[in-house]
Chain A
Amino acid sequence: MVRVPRPVPGCDIKSLPLRPDEAYLLSRIDGVVSERELSLITGLSQAEVTTALDRLFVLGAVDFNEPRAPVSRRAHPSVAPSSGAASTRGTEGPSSRSFEGGFGAGPSSRRFDPSVDAPPASRRSFEPLADLPPPTRRSIELSAERRSGADPGVDAPPVTRRAIELTVEQPRIVDPELEEPVDLDHAKKKRVLELYDALDERNHYELLGVSTDADKKQIKSAYWVLAPEFHPDKYFRKKLGTYKQRIEAIFDRLTLAHDVLTSKQRRAEYDAYLEQTRRNRTMAALLEHDPMDIPAVVAAAEDGPASGPPTSPARLVGEDAASPESARIRRVPFSAKLGSTPLRRAVTDAAGVSSPPATPPPPANDPFRRYDTSRNEARRLQLDRYVLAAKVALERRDLAAAANAYRLAVALAPEDEALVRKAAEIQQQAAAELAEGFLRQAEYEASQGRWSEAAMSFANVCKARGDDPRPHERVAFCTLKTGQNNRRAIDFARRAVKLSPGVGEYRLTLARAYMAAGLETSARVEMERAAELSPNDARMREAIAQLRAQMKKPDGADPEK
């Protein structure tokens, strides 16, 4: 699995706690060079690159392509990006994007926005593929626990090239953190740094190094070994410098993992959550991506070791899909050149979805004639296969797969009204199920106090339930809890109030959002209305009283409620 990192636009690199080697690595990242190649051109070891990339990812400085099989990029035909094709997706303006769009759950489960127009990647002089189209960028909303100064996904200006290049010239030096004079040996330092940097990416099982079906005893044993190693008492009155905090953070997370996994109830909740996130990710990927890229997307979403996408014929003829978007961009003129309908694409693609390619695709130089003669027959066969696949999927209650199969079928027979209706119906059902899944995910995240993730998941619910006020209110509430982006809280709370003007609670949340944004007059108005709407609710009264007190006392900190 090869990861191709790319810089996140709008990320304020200067504000990040980067080490020189990370900054150096970052300066080499252009969205084209793969992880492995980075190791070659920087002289850093593969492991060092991986660690540094993970950290840069956590810090929100880079994002990754979907993992894919290595493909020789040198064989690519040069295709200019077609702005017309690109605009079929991200049409929202930058401001509406941050509220409505941009919540497609990518394979990484982080929010990404396919429509961001990123500045061209900084190119290295020896890059032979100078005229490749710029890869699509993603922006990341970092989790609340680890945020950089600016929220790159929303209002931040695109990253200036200077910011990147400022760090380019720094020579690679020995890791200063490993050089810190503390009472720890080198191996220990390394272990602490590695584990600390990986904390955010590992789930509880990975952190403790146990399998997901480990029993309580195994989990405890793992904890009994790890906890003493990272308990500060093991380094009593030793000089630990910055390592003290890291060791404590690791211990804290280990204990959380232990506490969650050894409690039957909490573990069940956590497992359900992990499973839900995985399913949501897969499903969102299936539903939201062009059918063409489904194998890659599914593989990426499943994130398993054996999930390398089957090499689809489309790729063999040179489609190095850096992302669904660029794939489509390039595909349109390509198929136009071939003078074919989308049929051929669908045929080759279907092989990727339902079964490994049974028949090799006709070589590109095959005469069109031969292709035309078999056209109707192939189309019939293919259509039947999709409809059957859809039915099988429905029987399994796999709505996402069914919706996808119907979508493919409709692409083959857009004139079949019954089929189109059925496809739309299933698509809707699937979207509803996905929303349900995101709701569960969101509720767990909210219950764990992971507000920014919860806000994101609730926003995903809103996408399918545009007229349900509750998730909108929840997005506002959770966003307020993170203390970030009060505008967004206001917009979502407003939507909730608009949908259900008679619910005092929604108005209260809106009032809080106004309050947080410093719009005291508006806050007051909403609060009074909320008070009118729920005159007898004790909880509401208390909340209102608290908010009033907050208004009266301009001094001091504002704990976001």
Chain B
Amino acid sequence: MERVIGIDLGTTNSCVAIVEDGVPTVIPNRGGYKTTPSMVAITEAGKRLVGHIAKRQAITNAENTVYAAKRLIGRKFSSSQVKHATLSASYRIVEGPHGDVRIQLRDKTYSVPEISAMVLQEMKLFAEDYLSEPVTKAVITVPAYFNDGQRQATKDAGQIAGLDVIRIVNEPTAAALAYGFERNVEKTIAVFDLGGGTFDISILEIGAGGVFKVIATAGDTFLGGEDFDARIIDWLVQGFRDQTSVDLRQDRMALQRLKDAAEKAKCELSGVRETEINLPFIISSGRNEALHLQRTLTRDAMESLCGDLVERCIEICRQTLEDARIEREEIEDVILVGGMTRMPRVQEAVRQFFGREPCKGVHPDEVVALGAAVQGAALVDESKQMVLLDVTPHALGIMTYGSNFEELIPMNTTVPTSRSKIFTTSRDNQTAVKILVMQGESAQAEGNELLGEFVLTGLRRAPKGQVEIEVTFAIDSDGIVSVGAKDLETGQQQSIQVTASSGLTKEEVGAMMEAAKEYLVERRSNDEFEGVKQEAEKVIADIEKMFPKVQAIVQSSDFGRDAIEKARAILERCRDAITRKDLTALRGQMDSLARTHRMFKGVIARPQG
């Protein structure tokens, strides 16, 4: 049975996990860290950097380093969120051919799923290194409040990265799976997930026999750690302007440094009561005079800067409980997920709201990936006693006249589910009807996301109002929406699957997949070359060290001189292959190199005389 990895594709950090011998385990990256920054950069030389290495060079290469791509995934270029991001991002956001979002790095534009795919590909490689076997199947998590377009774009990213995304799972749900996995608890829990970019709250019921039933889920896809950082940046910029009349926002490099400093200060303030923000030579004034930024931020000050953000989270919790008609007392445990929940103010707010101490047993950065791995294992392994009964986070319906939204499946409906409604024709001899499928909670159609539209054709010709069509909306457990229509009189049926648009066409995804594959091949051979090169260089160095000694010993015989010559030639060929980056040639020399090495060692070890 093929193994399934679970990937938490986060706004700021990503994490990959797998169930190993029944135990969910986080797979560390090459640097030994359990999480990897969700950052991608293209260097001046055109080299792609992902993860920690991309983060480290972010300041010097700010314009070509992408962070928080998750905030853009599946969104339209014209949306207010993207406009907002365009203002603050250090990289260039441009409009794509379908009104989607593209990111300009150096001389190339990338779609957002492509950028995310680079991160996913990296995670996939870590898993393959760790397991020493190819990995193709994955469960990827998304914020519970993502709409279908964002989910589809995430799936596309997985596909581009060469992964078969067997399921998209909501992050808070995944956290609950990891929490309840094989613990055999029967509890109603709340998952409070404040990550880098999004906030989610989910209420779940864990039942006997490993049943996880989501009761309600809600959130805000534009409320997260980044917003806290932005508040601190605002404060720094404001203070600096007051002092020096220089606007740091005009300088992208300065902005990037501010961002790093703000994030660092925020993290530090979770542990200490005050911290120093010190950014020397942040900018030069008009008279070519270097200016430094130096300020002290206290925890209290930061809390007052961000107090309303925390309030917003709590307000969403309140609303969710109310909608689900659950009393706070019914919540038996609260799980904190996401790095932002380390902030004492957040913990305090949660404690106050739920009236109980949040659970300390889960790791806020790793629990989501672990849960994704658990879900993956449960899907492919029948022996796993676990089933997740998830809900649809958004209402599903159609647009009716006057641009109204008519709900067919309400939010928080357990999936799979289906609902039907009768439609009639409104024109004589009408042979087709157009149905606009939408997702969202707004009563006005334009306030919601258009999932797709389709035209039902082949209706019986009849006077208006006489053809009755029963339209059925169904969501299966994969979250796939299908719409079926049936002419009630003739029994004729048609059905269609509504796939949200991720902003990319199938062909584009296919082409990106190919490009990613090529990159991977290149990257693989590069990695391999690096490995062989290192090994070869070590041996070469060793041989060279022994060379004078061996030469002295064997010089007397013809055979010895011949051997020395041969060894010299082998070393030369190896060095040449290394310079030419010729992996095949280098490989071909490795055996001879090893033989030479053994021979040299043997000569030296032989008793002299």
Contacts and interface: CB of A to CB of B under 8 A. Distances in A.
A224 B211 contact: yes
A558 B426 CA distance: 6
A225 B387 CA distance: 11
A224 B393 CA distance: 22
Nearest to B211: A224
A232 B489 contact: no
B465 interface: yes
Interface in B444-481: 463-466, 468-471, 474, 476-477
Contact of B402 (A236, A251, A518, A546): A546
A53 B325 CA distance: 41
A351 interface: no
A542 to B, nearest CB: 8
Contacts of B471: 557
Nearest to B433: A557
Contacts of A249: 418
A149 interface: yes
A553 B401 contact: yes
Contacts of A150: 489
A549 interface: yes
A556 B387 contact: no
A557 B431 CA distance: 11
A312 interface: no
Contacts of B378: 233
B525 interface: no
B389 to A, nearest CB: 6
Given A224-B209, A518-B463, A483 B423 contact: yes
Contacts of A517: 465
Contact of A549 (B379, B382, B402, B463): B402
B416 interface: yes
A486 B426 CA distance: 13
Given A221-B208, A236-B379, A554 B416 contact: no
Contacts of A252: 414, 416-418
B426 A232 contact: no
Interface in B346-376: none
B488 A149 contact: yes
B494 interface: no
- Most B CB contacts (10 A, CB to CB) among A259, A483, A549 go to A483
- Counting contact residues on chain A (CB < 8 A from B), the size range is 35 or more
Contacts of A144: 422
Given A228-B387, A263-B325, A557 B423 contact: yes
A395 interface: no
Contact of A255 (B210, B389, B469, B489): B389
B100 interface: no
Contacts of B213: 227
B488 A559 contact: no
B466 to A, nearest CB: 7
Interface in B202-252: 207-211, 213
A554 B426 contact: yes
B60 interface: no
Contacts of B430: 555
B506 interface: no
A263 B215 CA distance: 12
B416 A559 contact: no
Contacts of B379: 233, 236-237
B433 A556 contact: yes
- Most A CB contacts (10 A, CB to CB) among B400, B423, B490 go to B400
A149 B388 CA distance: 37
B476 A557 contact: no
Contacts of A237: 166, 379-380
Contact of A556 (B388, B426, B470): B426
- Most B CB contacts (10 A, CB to CB) among A150, A231, A557 go to A557
A559 B210 CA distance: 41
Given A483-B422, A549-B402, A224 B489 contact: no
B101 interface: no
A319 B477 CA distance: 56
A560 B401 contact: no
B434 interface: yes
Interface string A191-225: 00000000000000000000000000000110111
A428 B461 CA distance: 49
Contact of B416 (A225, A232, A486, A553): A232
A274 interface: no
Given A486-B465, A549-B401, A555-B427, A560 B422 contact: yes
Contact of A228 (B211, B417, B427): B211
Given A232-B476, A549-B401, A558-B424, A227 B489 contact: no
B465 A557 contact: no
Contacts of A225: 209
Contacts of A484: 422, 468
B404 interface: yes
A448 interface: no
Contacts of A560: 422-424
B389 A231 contact: yes
Given A221-B208, A248-B474, A558-B425, A15 B491 contact: yes
A237 B380 CA distance: 8
Contacts of B476: 232, 244, 248
Interface in A510-561: 515-518, 545-546, 549-550, 553-561
Interface in A445-497: 482-484, 486
B420 interface: yes
A518 B426 CA distance: 7
A190 interface: no
A369 interface: no
Given A546-B402, A559-B421, A554 B211 contact: no
A124 interface: no
- Most A CB contacts (10 A, CB to CB) among B166, B388, B401, B477 go to B401
Interface string B553-589: 0000000000000000000000000000000000000
Nearest to B206: A224
A483 B469 CA distance: 9
Nearest to B485: A557
B425 A557 contact: yes
B406 A559 contact: yes
A15 B464 CA distance: 23
B469 A227 contact: no
B597 to A, nearest CB: 51
B398 interface: yes
A103 B414 CA distance: 36
A529 to B, nearest CB: 21
A131 interface: no
Contacts of A234: 382, 387
- Most B CB contacts (10 A, CB to CB) among A483, A515, A518, A558 go to A558
A416 interface: no
Nearest to B413: A255
A515 B427 CA distance: 11
A251 B211 CA distance: 14
A127 interface: no
Interface string A236-273: 11000000100011011001000100010100000000
A224 B380 CA distance: 21
A237 B434 CA distance: 32
B120 to A, nearest CB: 21
A431 B276 CA distance: 83
A251 B470 CA distance: 21
Given A225-B209, A248-B418, 11 more contacts: A231-B387, A233-B378, A234-B387, A236-B166, A248-B474, A484-B422, A546-B400, A549-B402, A554-B427, A556-B401, A560-B422
Top 6 nearest A-B pairs (CB, nearest first) are A483-B422, A518-B465, A224-B207, A557-B433, A228-B387, A557-B423
28 contacts: A147-B488, A223-B207, A227-B211, A227-B387, A234-B382, A234-B387, A237-B166, A248-B418, A252-B414, A252-B418, A259-B414, A263-B325, A483-B470, A484-B422, A484-B468, A515-B465, A518-B465, A549-B402, A556-B401, A556-B433, A557-B423, A557-B424, A557-B426, A558-B425, A558-B426, A559-B401, A559-B406, A559-B421
